[in-house]
Amino acid sequence: MAMAGGSSFEDEIVESDIELEGEVVEPDNDPPQKMGDPSAEVSNEKFDQSQLAKKEGVDAISEGKLDEAIEHLTEAVVLNPTSAIVYAARASVFVKSKKPNAAIRDADAALKINPDSAKGYKSRGMAKAMLGKWEEAAQDLRMAAKLDYDEEIAAELKKVEPNVLKIEEHRRKYERLRKERDMKKAEMEKQRKHAEEISAASAVLKDGDVIAIHSSSELESKLKAASTLSRLAVLYFTAGWCGPCRFIGPVCKSLAEKHRNVVFLKVDIDELNSVAYRWNVSSVPSFFFVRNGKEIDKVVGADKNGLERKLAQHGSS
């Protein structure tokens, strides 16, 4: 019984072993077998000699003399290096000799000469199965069956395909687990960043107080913080020379203390004329009710009752 897997993933995802059927062999690390010169010209005499050597090789295979068969087929390859059949035949002998790497080299040579060599695909598929390369083996054997089906290919596929199915199921399982892990990590990172934003936003606001604004950038920072905390902001425009503003100022402070979840921001139009212009302030005091950076309502004048109604209407929404 062969085993596959055993590698580990990050973040405590450990891939289990897969129980696979079928024996695998140790890779053959012999020096590469002698190959023919593909640029050599094959005369009629060499072709005939190659055919004779191939026949002797096939006869040796039938007698179970594998080493002798390889010698004859090697002679045939050297005499006629343009024959995919000879390479494929020698590849089949290497398979029988349990030399899968040598078989793969010959099968590759056969398929380079003839991309439709069924015997080339068959030998290479069987060799890759011997090395435990089940998915590659199945691919080659399926192609061999498509080109020239035989019972030996069918029998080999019956051994290989169940392992391929197990590997594919195993891969899908751990791809799903990795995806779930990555989604969880992304969600945790999102929550961490949100918590940081909440903390940073809370740090720039003063609950229960009216915050005096002295620059356009400070106003944007405070409004952004209010949006991050999903709070209503009341933007209060005033002026030092304005009598009603002096009257409504203590009222705003009292309302801020009462509605601690509402952000009260005070802007002096003489200090920040450009901000007043941008908000289309035509008179003071003016109160803009802002949620998520957008104006949702407005009170103009020192209207204490109006302010309280708007706060009741929007403060908890």
Sheet holding 263-268, edge to edge: 210-213, 263-268, 233-238, 286-291, 294-300
Query: What does the block give as tokens for 201?
Result: 């936003």
Q: Which two tokens stand for residue 251?
A: 């009222």
Residues in a beta bridge with 5 = 17
β-bridge pairing 210-213 and 233-238? unpaired
Residue type, 287: F
Nearest residue to 229 (alpha-carbon basis) of 276, 273, 177, 292: 292
Closest to 301 (Cα-Cα) out of 276, 275, 315, 283: 283
The separation between CA 135 and the C-alpha centre of its own chain, rounded to angstroms, equals 22
Residue 245 falls in the annotated catalytic set: yes
- Among 114, 120, 113, CA closest to 91: 120
3-class SS at 47?
helix
Q: Which of 286, 284, 305 is nearest to 297 (CA)?
A: 286
Catalytic one among 88, 242, 275, 311?
A: 242
Q: Give catalytic status of residue 252 as yes or no.
A: no
With H, G, I as helix, E, B as strand and everything else as coil, classify residue 88: helix
Q: Identify the active-site residue in 245, 255, 265, 269.
A: 245
Active-site residues, by number, are: 242, 245
